[in-house]
Amino acid sequence: MPDQAKTLTLTIDGKPVTVPDGTTVLQACEKAQSPVPFYCYHPGLSIAGNCRICLVEIEGTPKLQIACYTPAANGMVVHTTSDKTLDGRKAVLEFLLANHPLDCPVCDQAGECWLQDYYMEYGLYDPKFNEQKVKKPKAVPVGPNVMLDAERCILCSRCVRFCDEVTKTGEFGIFNRGDHSEIGVVEGKQVDNQYSGCVVDICPVGALTDRDFRFKCRVWYLETTKSVCPGCSRGCNIEIHANRERRDRPHVAEGKRVMRLKPRYNPDVNRWWMCDEGRYTYHAIDDDRLTTVQVRDGQRLRDGSWDEAFAALASTIQRLTAANQPDRVGVILSTFLTNEELYLAKTFFRQLGIAQVTVAAPPPGSSDEFLIQADKSPNTRGAQALGLSFRSDALLARAARKELSVLYVFGLDLVEVFGQEAVASALKPLEQVVFQGSNVNASCRFAHLILPSAVYAEKDGTFTNCQGRVQRIHAAFSPLGEARTDSDIFLELAQRLGLPLNMPDAPSIFADLASREPAFQGLSYETIGDAGSLLASTNGH
């Protein structure tokens, strides 16, 4: 590791640069904005030094040196674009391509392949190789999520080191010798660790591809939105990759809009990685969605309109509050709501005099000592910081004793949390059960009114992770079908009820939240940025 206390100065392409002692030449070149190409190097893995593409010329050294492994030295003079350096990279590329198949038209990596990119920049355009290529296994499933094409592999060994050093599961190895060397899976194993998708992320070519994404979409049709994984309370930073041709058609329910999720680097949360469980949660963005308002008509639910739903809900609330019976209304919020939505709900129901407001979280699941948390929701810490109650069980008990007339449920499947029998006994006696959520679940069958709401990929706001770090999410596209964001539903309902709830968007809601809630004081969207910011109560800890 670089020694931050001791520094040294070297010259790279005529530019002086000062770096901590222990910095490699490759890292120094990046700081000097003279980046060198690389395949095997990854900042989260040990240095292998085997791809040889990161060659640089160092004055006083007769041979070209690999920048990833060479430590920077005081007074060193480095050239990254000299003729000698460029000729060396061309020769390396010729060797790497000697047995590489011409798969670019059918390879999922096309468009984001480092081999393509570096060949266009450094390649030897009159290759001397004219021999039969070595054939290796193609399209071999090596795990539930990963496909291997050994012919495309350039033996960078990133996948081997990831499984050895990060997951410590050791599935991959390099077998055979010479030009017959190839990546493979250790006999009796498959790549089924909880982070297997990461080997696809770090593969610089098309040797390892994602079986879920394979042949679905060309990468140049994808648009990227920064967000946060809602799969657990870790809140891994991610990118949502959406199909440009589908993203602007919210009223079309057929077809996928999101093609994949990718981890986004955050040194304080997930670094370069994310788990498979979170990676494939994107299916819920478009699958089993609630896309229309539904109103109970006798024993069945029928399609309704937002006007009808708002009128029915507003009428019930007005009648109970006018009769001085706001305690007959119970509310169960969800830890999948953003900080802004939870705060808006807290403000909305307080203005109505409704005090029976609680929050429910999904049942705990598996965890590990790396990223995965047992809390399978993104904003439990945010609800706690806002001072909301988590006594939903007590509220259901009140409903079962017929002490409630209305229960307003947000998103979460109560049957999953409390069980079929408890939910049925609590909800069946109620005059009105309102379910506001994004996806169909078992609780919907008890609802008198279903309001379709947006998923995290369709709205702006923040989540607070298990560390107390407040992180931004951004809307990648509009809500599906007739769904609306939870904030928009609150604001419309507030207008119909004559409440002074004048916060039209997520930034204005968060500004009000940060000014009134002690845990969020001093925070703004600017201070949160892309990396997030700790709650006031956790700063310095």
List, for residues 21-70, the tens digit of each pLDDT value: 999 999 999 999 999 999 999 999 999 999 999 999 999 999 999 999 99
Q: Is the pLDDT of residue 403 over 90?
A: yes
- Judged against a pLDDT cut of 60, whether residue 142 lies above it is answered with yes
Question: If you average pLDDT over residues 200-210, what whole number do you get?
Answer: 96
User: What is the per-residue pLDDT for 248?
Assistant: 57
What is the structure's pLDDT at 100? 87
Longest dimension (CA), the chain: 91
Mean pLDDT of 375-388: 97
- The stretches of 196-280 forming alpha helices (DSSP H) are 197-202, 244-247, 276-279
Give the class (CATH, top level) of 129-210.
Answer: alpha beta
Q: Can you tell me which residue has the tokens 């089993």?
A: 288
Q: What is the pLDDT of residue 541?
A: 43
Strand ranges in 361-457 using DSSP code E only, listed in sequence order = 406-410, 432-437, 449-452
Domain boundaries along the sequence of the chain = 3-97, 129-210, 219-285, 294-534
pLDDT more than 70, % of the chain: 96
Residues 459, 474 contacting (CB under 8 angstroms): no
User: pLDDT at residue 476 above 60?
Assistant: yes
Beta bridge partners of 7: 20
Task: Give the pLDDT of residue 252.
Answer: 55
Pair 135, 153: CB distance under 8 Å: no
In the prediction, which pLDDT does 122 show?
85
- The one-character DSSP state at 409 is E
The pLDDT of residue 101? 87
Q: Six-digit token pair at 51?
A: 């791809």
How far is it, in rounded angstroms, from Cα 231 to Cα 240? 14
Is the pLDDT at 250 greater than 60? The verdict is no
Of the candidates 242, 220, 224, the one whose C-alpha atom is nearest the C-alpha of residue 530 is: 224
Is the Cβ–Cβ distance between 232 and 372 less than 8 Å? Answer: yes
**Local confidence band at 123 (pLDDT 50, 70, 90 cut-offs):** confident
CATH T-level fold of 219-285: N-terminal domain of TfIIb (2.20.25)
Q: Are 24 and 71 in contact (CB under 8 A)?
A: yes
pLDDT of 489 strictly over 90: yes
Structure confidence at residue 540 (pLDDT)? 45
* Range 3-97 classified under CATH 3.10.20.740: yes
Give residue 121's pLDDT: 87
In this predicted structure, the answer to whether residue 484 has a pLDDT above a threshold of 60 is yes
Please tell me the number of Cα atoms within 13 Å of 269 on its side-chain side. Answer: 28
For 343, the 3-state DSSP assignment is helix
For 201-209, what is the mean pLDDT? 95
Helix (H) or strand (E) holding 418: helix 414-418
Residue, of 367 and 251, whose pLDDT is higher: 367
137 compared with 306, residue with greater pLDDT:
306
The pTM of this model reads 0.92
| pLDDT higher than 80, residue 124 | no
Residue range 184-213: mean pLDDT, rounded: 95
Q: Which fold has domain 294-534?
A: Rossmann fold (3.40.50)
Q: For residue 119, what pLDDT is reported?
A: 87
Q: What pLDDT, in 10s, does the model give residues 426-467? A: 999 999 999 999 999 999 999 999 999 999 999 999 999 999
Arithmetic mean of pLDDT over the chain: 93
Mean pLDDT along residues 116-123: 87
Taking CA atoms, 9 is separated from 5, 14, 17, 74, in Å, by 14, 12, 6, 5
| pLDDT for 116 beyond 80 | yes
Q: What is the pLDDT of residues 412-430, one digit of tens each?
A: 999 999 999 999 999 999 9
Least-confidence region, from 1-10, 26-35, 226-235: 1-10
Over residues 499-513, the mean pLDDT reads: 94
Query: Kindly report the CA angle at 353 between 360 and 326, in degrees rounded to 5?
Result: 80
What pLDDT is recorded for position 1?
60
> Given a cut of 90, is residue 391 above it in pLDDT?
yes
The contacts of residue 102 (CB under 8 Å, 6+ apart) are none
d(CA 167, CA 369): 10
